[in-house]
Structure 1
Amino acid sequence: MIPGTWPTRALVVVLILANLGFLAWRQGWLDTLAPGGLQPAGASQREPERLQRQIHPERLIVVPAPLAGTSAASAADPAAAPSARPASSADAAASVSTSSASIPTASLASATLDTGAACYQAGPFTTEEHRRVSTALSQQLPTGSWTTQTVSAPGLWLVYMGPYQDPEMLERKQIELRRIRNLNFEEVRSPPSLAMGLSLGRFNQQAQAEASLETLRLRGVRTARVVTIRPAADLMVIRIPLASAEIQRRLPALPLPAGKGFAACTT
């Protein structure tokens, strides 16, 4: 026998036996050798041993994951969860009921509005005209249904020639003015006091009209003059912001100055 061979063989045999024992232990082949097996308590996770170690498996209840809005108190106390859910349902029902109850109220409020209401205005009026119109409105329309707004009306001045006695004289004067190069003019038909006359310019400021007249005189226009058509003044506009169908029916019968009746608001 070769020296040193026997110890080596014995070591190999021991290693093989150890590996076989470890394999048998891992596979559970040794569990039947002693009550409860050779594995540590709770180590085996194989069937059916794992099922046999369960205590009252029939009492197991699968609980779904809590919703995001579930309170911490409900999660800590499972017994309170069933009662919490009906309460939430009741709250939701109450909320729906409250919203439903508010809808008829809003509908009733909107029903009181006249869907045919529109804005109407009349004017502009002078101070005296406004006084007369206000008196008539106070007798025909509900109190507070109309308002008064003050607007600034620019004046109007003409550089004017005339009036002339007959159309022939008016025509001769127009022939004379056409001989002046680049001179613009027009026939005046209103107001009646200035009919049969000629306008050589319209201006919103009297000073501008006077300056234009001086320029025309330098060009040979001798008989022209400045006339006032309308001085600058503060006028008044009457507005009915929400004229109902009934008020609109009454508006045409109101006594207003000619050309200043009620019409739909422009702004």
Structure 2
Amino acid sequence: MLRLLVLALILANGAYFAWTSGMLRAYGFAPVQQTEPQRLAQQLRPDALRVLSTAEFKKVETQAQADLAPKECLEAGPFDDAQAVTLRRALESALPGGAWQFDAVQLPARWIVYMGKYPNAEALLKKRAELATMNLKMEALENPELEIGLSLGGFATQAAATEELQRLSQRGIRTARVVQERMEVRANQLKLPALTEATKAHLTELKPALAGKTLKACS
């Protein structure tokens, strides 16, 4: 009796194995296939799928977080061609590629109400103090050839500068004159279009190459 039971179990296991493995499919006995061929047909480049290592996953995660982080646009300029070359070298070492760009700009001619040149810095400071008591505003000179001197205002036309000179002469200014500080010229404007907190940390490295220009919000 026991032998018959063991034999029956062996035959049952063999039949189950043959059924699950599809050996009896030709005779109409086989399990229902759990396949979805339509999903296989929809796959795009399944050969490109790969499992990332922990280091690779962290890199992708960091990049994704950087892409989602708030960004700020800053600009500075204008820079002449020589200044732009120096600044470009600093940018290449401080910031990743694509984080900055130079835009060509056309600077109009500029006239100023000019006082100078003074023999030394002491004479300039004395004149500044005198003008301050008259509540007159002074501007930094953009043209180093006009140093040591000072500007009482810049204008887009010579006529506008002459009109301002006449107004100042009525207030007691006698030694000022109108000079052309800059001719119309092509220049370069630096733009940092999408700064993140991570890239902003490297901006201090650019300061020596900014030629005294200040980074400010994009207009």
Q: TM-score, normalised by structure 2?
A: 0.47
Q: Which has the bigger relative contact order, CA under 8 A and spacing at least 6?
A: 2
Give the structure with higher Rg (CA): 1
